[in-house]
Structure 1
Amino acid sequence: MKKMLMKFMAFMGLILFSAAATSAGEVAIDGKITIDEDRLREVIKEVIKENPKLIYETINAYAKHEKKRKLAERLESSFKNRINGLTVDEKINPVMGSKDAPITIIEFTDFQCPYCSRAARTVERVLKKYPGKVRLALKNNPLDFHKQALPAASAALAANKQGKFWEYHDLLFKNASDLNEEMFVKFAEDLSLDVEKFNKDRNSDEIIVQIEAEREEAEKYKLKGTPSFVANGIVIRGAQKIDYFSKVVDRLLAEKKAEKKQK
């Protein structure tokens, strides 16, 4: 990154120097430009001042190019370095989508994480874009500095025991910045859950052990940041846009198709 930035700054410097040299310099008999350094500094300032839009557009274009390049590198790296061993237990892990879907996206989330909230909407669009081909399984990775993330995860899993996980999941993300004990109970009431059972389940050792095990999984597979996704072994880090998810899914589907042809 540092080398690329230095190259970019050198490129910008060349542009500014070329523009400024024309104004600040004098052409000698041999065709060379002689430059007064003080005058050059003044002209460079004038060039920057008079062309802010050009400078901004150049920097912005470079930033977009770099982001695109890094995402492409990340995509290739994720396919070369797939992870194995991460599984889904449908008895305890909430799952959305067809059981026969060839692609399973496992998500590690934190209900107080704004990026997780954004990613949840994106993944929902992915499932709609690929009906029957992609399913989502959710695991919890509540971060320590999000004080309500752990109790929120416990509450969501308690709701799962009454078949209302995804409804509860949506309520948590809609209110991610204001979560508290009263809200956890209110959401259960709003969804017509058995509140007594809900409270018992969310405070049970079973759910606490499950969340801790999922946290350990996230650490084991170096998925500490939230949100993190694993699609058939392909790691997707952060709240990527649907285009990135689509590239992963399309490539995995193409692999599945090729495998069928070989059989």
Structure 2
Amino acid sequence: MIRFFLRIFLFGLICLYLMAASLAMANGPDRKSPPIVEAAKAGNLSAVRTLLDQGAHVNARDNWHRTLLIIAVQQEDLNIMQLLMSRSADVNAANKNGITALIAAVQRDNFDAIHRLVQAGAQVNQADRMGWNPLMWAVYRNNRAAVHLLVNHGADPLLTNRQGFTALDLAKRINASPEIWSLLQPGSPSNPLLRPQNDNKQTRFPRALFRPQLAASRLIRGNPKAAVTIVEYTDFQCPYCALGKEAIDDILAKYNGKVKVVVKHAPSDSHRVALPAALYFEALARRNPEKAWQFYDLIFTEQHILREGEAGLSCIIDRLGLSDQERRQLENDRFSRSILATVEADLLEAESFGFGGVPVVMVNDILLEGYYSAETFSQVIDPILYKLANG
């Protein structure tokens, strides 16, 4: 019975998107959002001020649990942001993924916003759902100015995220600039703090109690006959999924011919174009796998473009170099019954497995929830290959 209602819900979600697309309203306002939320999204400073004066809540949230302040930061609207902080907006409130206004500002390299939020009392060590704090995001983006500001205001480079690594570990993995090294740990980069903390410990990974359905028609990257299968549940607008994609790329290169990757979709309802992007990917996969993987690479590399909604997604499609006929065919294909059914089945599967979010990856029967580095993937893959080679 639960599965029945879940199917109705997911079909409804897709149908709502189709209706919005047909009416050219994919980026329109959320109907249930308070007027002040719509004013903030529209960048209407005067309306936001008036509504606050009339008693609207300064910490009002939209349907995705973002506060007005988070919305203003994500839209890089410093005027509305400053107004909200002058009215005592909660600078440490987070959305349902744990993203605070400060994390959002760091993700956008908006130093002015970062500085104002820190001065207003934003917690520099408050982490998101995956355990990533503002300093980790600043290091990942190689933003020296942000790292300097955060460290000077008490950001701790030794805090660990859910995967067990620190901002220092991250700096090592992305080959951060020398300036960032010096800010994180004065002195030599050979400081023993940089050594992996679990060198002498055997990491154990959980085995999944379920097995994903993989149709023969499913697009595969890598050797179709490879002994190791990575099934990736992803969301094209999720920043953690973009990080995970980089790690999987490294694994494909390292284990050339021994690993294959299958992409499945679990788009969040808080990401406006994640669902249409999934439909585009599957439509491309049916007719031109090479273009599908080009789209996959582009959308994660240029993920910031998706802030523009459907216009940003269309820009990525334009860069695929499709002919006019191919573009028209793609627009028709993405709304076909088979494409909708594929994405719906992925959503149902992810829901039935109880995933709390993405990325989620299965390496054969080993389950990895959240972002993991290429080194962690190797810890899973090496024993599998050894066992296969040695019986």
TM range (shorter): 0.5 to 0.7
Identity of aligned residues (%): 29
TM-score, length basis structure 1: 0.67
Which residue of 1 is the match for residue 77 of structure 2?
none
Which residue of 2 is the match for residue 96 of structure 1?
221
**Residue 106 of structure 1 contacts residue 139 of structure 1 at CA under 8 Å; is this kept in 2?**
yes
Would you say 1:248 and 2:374 are equivalent positions? no
**Residue 106 of structure 1 contacts residue 138 of structure 1 at CA under 8 Å; is this kept in 2?**
yes
Which residue of 2 is the match for residue 216 of structure 1?
348
Identify the structure with the greater strand proportion. Answer: 1
SS in structure 2 at match of 1:76: coil
SS in structure 1 at match of 2:294: helix
CA shift digits 1:221-246 (9 cap, x unpaired): 22341111001110111111111100
Which residue of 2 is the match for residue 152 of structure 1?
277
**Residue 152 of structure 1 contacts residue 184 of structure 1 at CA under 8 Å; is this kept in 2?**
yes
**Residue 188 of structure 1 contacts residue 198 of structure 1 at CA under 8 Å; is this kept in 2?**
no
**Residue 210 of structure 2 contacts residue 353 of structure 2 at CA under 8 Å; is this kept in 1?**
no
The alpha carbon displacement at 1:181 in A equals: 2.4
SS in structure 2 at match of 1:161: helix
Which residue of 2 is the match for residue 175 of structure 1?
302
The alpha carbon displacement at 1:175 in A equals: 2.8
The alpha carbon displacement at 1:63 in A equals: 4.8
Which residue of 2 is the match for residue 118 of structure 1?
243
Distance 1:136 1:232 in 2: 11
Identify the structure with the greater helix proportion. Answer: 1
Higher relative contact order (CA 8 A, sep 6+): 1
RMSD of Structure 2 on Structure 1 (CA): 2.7
Which residue of 2 is the match for residue 201 of structure 1?
333
Which residue of 1 is the match for residue 255 of structure 2?
130
SS in structure 1 at match of 2:272: coil
**Residue 185 of structure 1 contacts residue 195 of structure 1 at CA under 8 Å; is this kept in 2?**
no
What is the total number of aligned residue pairs between the two structures?
Answer: 198
Structure 1 residues 63 and 200: CA distance shift in structure 2, 3 A: closer
Letter in 2 for 1:223: F
Which residue of 2 is the match for residue 76 of structure 1?
204
CA shift digits 1:90-129 (9 cap, x unpaired): 41x2210101110000000000001111111110100110
**Residue 97 of structure 1 contacts residue 132 of structure 1 at CA under 8 Å; is this kept in 2?**
yes
Which residue of 1 is the match for residue 45 of structure 2?
none
Distance 1:186 1:158 in 2: 17
**Residue 219 of structure 2 contacts residue 285 of structure 2 at CA under 8 Å; is this kept in 1?**
yes
Structure 1 residues 208 and 243: CA distance shift in structure 2, 3 A: same
Greater gyration radius = 1
Q: Where do 5+ consecutive residues of structure 1 fail to align?
A: 1-55
Would you say 1:85 and 2:211 are equivalent positions? yes
Which residue of 2 is the match for residue 234 of structure 1?
366
Distance 2:251 2:362 in 1: 14
